[in-house]
Amino acid sequence: MAKVIIFGVLDTAELAHYYLTHDSEHEVVAFTVNQEYIEKDTFHDLPVVPFEEVEKFYSPEEYAFFAPITGRNMNRNREKVYLESKQKGHTFISYISSKATVFHPELIGENCFILEDNTIQPFTKIGNNVIMWSGNHIGHHGLIKDHCFFTSHVVLSGHCVVESYSFFGVNSTIRDYTNIAAGTLVGMSSSITKETEEWGIYIGNPSKKVPGKKSFEAY
């Protein structure tokens, strides 16, 4: 059991507070956000403290950190907070829903947020700072690297490799033995059947790469 500080005061932080309170052994003790975004001193009756000096309020030796931030800027906003928190000395928890099917939780990294009805088949490794919203199917013998985001009802077939910063829209599907390049954005209901290119945007079924635009320019 850890005493946890959650980054954020919007919907995702509120959901994290709910899940940790009702479906984990952890205790949420505070929220933190950058000083310029603090409008109230409390959120859900807990203190809100400036992220710039959170370690002065909550010692990294005593309190763990959780930063379940959205996928904006192709997950790089979340990566920034994650790395800055590590520099402050905080350790991280991960949340894995008790209603998810996970065969190897020891292969899941830190600061991951894995919600209900995810199925993660055996022998797949998940890196740090990965978010999986509800209802995804993650196939066997795969590798998902750091700072990725799966929305809902994504099917990632077996033996796939997903490089960092990738984002998968609702109902997207990835063929088995496919390599997803860093920063790939897969649009809603799109189907990937072959290797992607770094920072590419792919839409359609079968998917086609959107010409002349990088993923971080779109999301």
Q: Are residues 107 and 209 in the same domain?
A: yes
- Which residues, 6+ apart, have CB-to-CB distance to 107 below 8 Å? 124, 125, 126
Q: Does residue 19 sit in the same domain as residue 57?
A: yes
Instruction: Give the Cβ contact number of residue 199 at 10 Å.
Output: 19
Name the DSSP letter for residue 11: H
Is the CB of residue 162 less than 8 Å from the CB of residue 156?
Answer: yes
* 109 and 198 share one domain: yes
Residues 116 and 202 in one domain: yes
Are residues 196 and 128 part of one domain? yes
**pTM score, two decimals?**
0.97
Helix H or strand E encompassing 154: none
Number of domains in the chain: 2
Q: What is the CATH number of the domain that holds 196?
A: 2.160.10.10
Domain C-terminal end among 55, 88, 121: 88
Q: Which residues contact 112 (CB under 8 A, 6 or more apart)?
A: 94, 95, 96, 126, 128, 129, 130, 131, 132
What are the tens digits of pLDDT across the range 13-30? 999 999 999 999 999 999
Q: Residues 76, 78, 80, CA angle at the centre, nearest 5°? A: 70
Range of the domain at 191: 100-213
Considering the domain architecture, whether residues 201 and 108 belong to the same structural domain is answered as yes
Residue type, 165: Y
pLDDT in tens, 93-143: 999 999 999 999 999 999 999 999 999 999 999 999 999 999 999 999 999
Question: Within this chain, do residues 141 and 177 fall inside the same structural domain, yes or no?
Answer: yes
Residue-wise pLDDT tens digits, 35-85: 999 999 999 999 999 999 999 999 999 999 999 999 999 999 999 999 999
For every residue of 186-209, DSSP letters joined together read EPTT-EE-S---TT-EEEETTEEE
In-domain check, residue 156: yes
